[in-house]
Structure 1
Amino acid sequence: MINTTDSLTLHGNDVLQNAAAILQELAQKAMDAESVSGKSNPELLTDRQARHRLALSIFLRIRRGRALTYPELTTLYNLCLVPDKQLDLAQPLYTELTGEAAPHPKDVSGIRIPIRTMFVLLWAKGNATLPHDFNISGVWAKYPELMDRSLGFIHKLAGVKTSNLHRSTRNFQYRVNWHRPEDIVFEELWEAAPVVVDKQREIKSKSKKGSKCTDFSYLTWLHLFAKEHPKIVSPDQARILEGYHAHLSATTFEISSTENRKSYAQFVKYWGSMGNNYSKNENLQSRRTRYASGIDGRKNKDRQRTEEKNNRAEETKKEAHDLLSPEEYALLPGRRRPTNYNYDWVIGYYNTQDNPDIEKNLTCWIKAGELHLGHIEDPLSINSRKQEVGYVHILMDYRLFAFKGVADF
């Protein structure tokens, strides 16, 4: 799975047991490394730096062996991510976990790195999939001997290919629960794509300019995986998935990229020829096929734009009819003229909601016009005949809008 939420995702029935065991292990490491006198009762120490180093031991002693709960794991997660400049936000969380009304500032600040380490080790055990805002700041500096326990098969497959791939791997691995090749399911990757693209867009919008947003940058790594395990994810599937991400990133939406979700079969059929390996003609043909099918939404958007344009034109026409004299209205710039040289355009042209039968008053005029066209059909060209119809068009405008369809002429 891919954790695209802002919350912890926990797995297994032994989460709380493993979390407690990890905390005890880390607390013992700190006690073994500490040389300050009085460390057997760390909660009584006055040495600020010693309290900072033994913050986890102090935390566990204050709790007096009370078992962790799932809500407390969430509170611990929120506490461990509080930055140095906002430690005042961490103190209420610490009080909630220990009952200490006025905890020592070093007890609060010192516990954050051990708690981050606990979540890394829970991830390594397959007990947790962490949100994108999780960070490992200070973890390996404090516990370098534990780094190997976090280097799973994701890291081993990436190896030392490039520094960018290595950095991306170290970031995205905590957002997924891939601890062995069989944990990767292509259908899950495909279904998660729109949400992942939304999350990447959100992260980028909140990041500093120029920063690398690698929290979900697993596509490059997935190409390596596809070469090693083509029966789980084929190289072609990896390529199509990358194209799908690119398509979702570039396509406009109103609320979310899920609006542009496509099935794998749909995307392969209509976008499968995307990429530099295909000719311009092939890409152009794909675009035409997508438009004709309506699958990419462009046809509907074009139809919607046309309807909106026509509605605006009708509103403008009605406003002009109400405000202008018949002579001014007939000569109004931009007034639509018939594009053919007969009188089929009259049908529905003048009718309105207020006067749905107004065109009945033009019956005689249409018959006279058609007789006139029959008279000039041979001697005049098509363009000339269109011009003649245009003159009658202006005359009909004047007659109708001067008398508003009341008189039967």
Structure 2
Amino acid sequence: MSSRFLFEDPSPEEAELGDPSEGPSITLAEKGVCEGYEKYGYNGEDFISLDVKQMRYVPHTADAAPIADIWNKRRDRIDFVKHYFTKELPDYLRMAAPYLKTTVFPDVYLLQKNSSSPVVCLATGVNSSAVTMTWRKNGQDLHEDVDEGETVPNGDGTFQKRISLKVETEEWKENQYHCVVQHENWKTMIIKNITEDEIMHNVQTFQWISHCVYDDQKGVCEGYEKYGYNGEDFISLDVNQASYIPHTADAAPIADIWNKRRDRIGLVKHYFTKELPDYLRRAAPYLKTTVFPDVYLLQKNSSSPVVCLATGVNSSAVTMTWRKNEQDLHEDVDEGETVPNGDGTFQKRISLKVETEEWKENHYHCVVQHEKMMIIKSITEDAIKHNLKHRTRVTAIISTIVFLLLLLLLSFLRRLHRGSPKSS
């Protein structure tokens, strides 16, 4: 993986052509050499570019041809640019590298099982979960026939995400379809065009995720193990029951075989209950502790909005979204501000207006994201905490207190009445 540093510098020939639309840009690879280019634009169009390998200027319009010819004859200019790319910039970036922030760009692939299957755009190796992916047709964002997957960890500190598009072969051959990968920390974007050469056909993807949340107070590990096939859930492990659960018909016979292999179950159980807790117990003093917030779903009554509350967040930079069947929702959503709790942590809430029948028939999730952490809370009867229950409990307590006070008052009045002198 090359370490990339983008560097812009004014052209030495600004006086001849005016400001270039794009100055020199270079990539400093691990070998310490510079792979760069130099482009000049005129009125928003490519005008002249430098072929760094051949060290000659290439015109892109008829008007640029005589200027490129003059520049190519000026060997002092060529020698200056060659020295700039092969000596000055590599030396500068070699010295500056320890102080510059390295941007690692992910690998992006276009996958397709067969010609009638959706085209899947996969970005992997992303160093943050805050990555966005979109499909475009002739420069316009697409929303129909698009299915966006969740951002999932790779297990090495990086993430992967995919977005699929249902499109006929004849359609993408007659139009320009692009997969666009963007990140808030990048100053550029990665664009992958659908072409015959770019699409990888008959690709089978098998994924395995092993996850553990270590409770250093109890010294136990709450974990899970998931297997995916071609971007879909295939088999998952119920750690408490020590049993593999199939998620598709094709996975059923494999899960059955794995469940019969008690040696495999024993190894996995030992891994989650003994090995991982022991390792994390020893490693805990050297690891950065991530404090996960508490996330609740609240509702006053069945006709009120469902409120997703995240509290105990150790930073105000938290994002919350509502999703319906894995698609982000924007309508009927009211997002509150992030407010301090007073103990150094923060809380935030986001509400959703949705009918009970609607969320029972679909998958609604509240997604809380912060740095490399993601918490997903699904709307279910068990997950929603109704305030009416708490009110009933409080009312019952108050009623009990009032009843006891009345008993005490009656007892006091009775004693007072017995102790008073009888009238003649």
Under a length normalisation based on structure 2, what TM-score does the superposition of the two structures give? Answer: 0.24
Larger Rg: 1
Is the helix fraction higher in 1 or 2? 1
Is the strand fraction higher in 1 or 2? 2
Higher relative contact order (CA 8 A, sep 6+): 1
Under a length normalisation based on structure 1, what TM-score does the superposition of the two structures give? Answer: 0.25
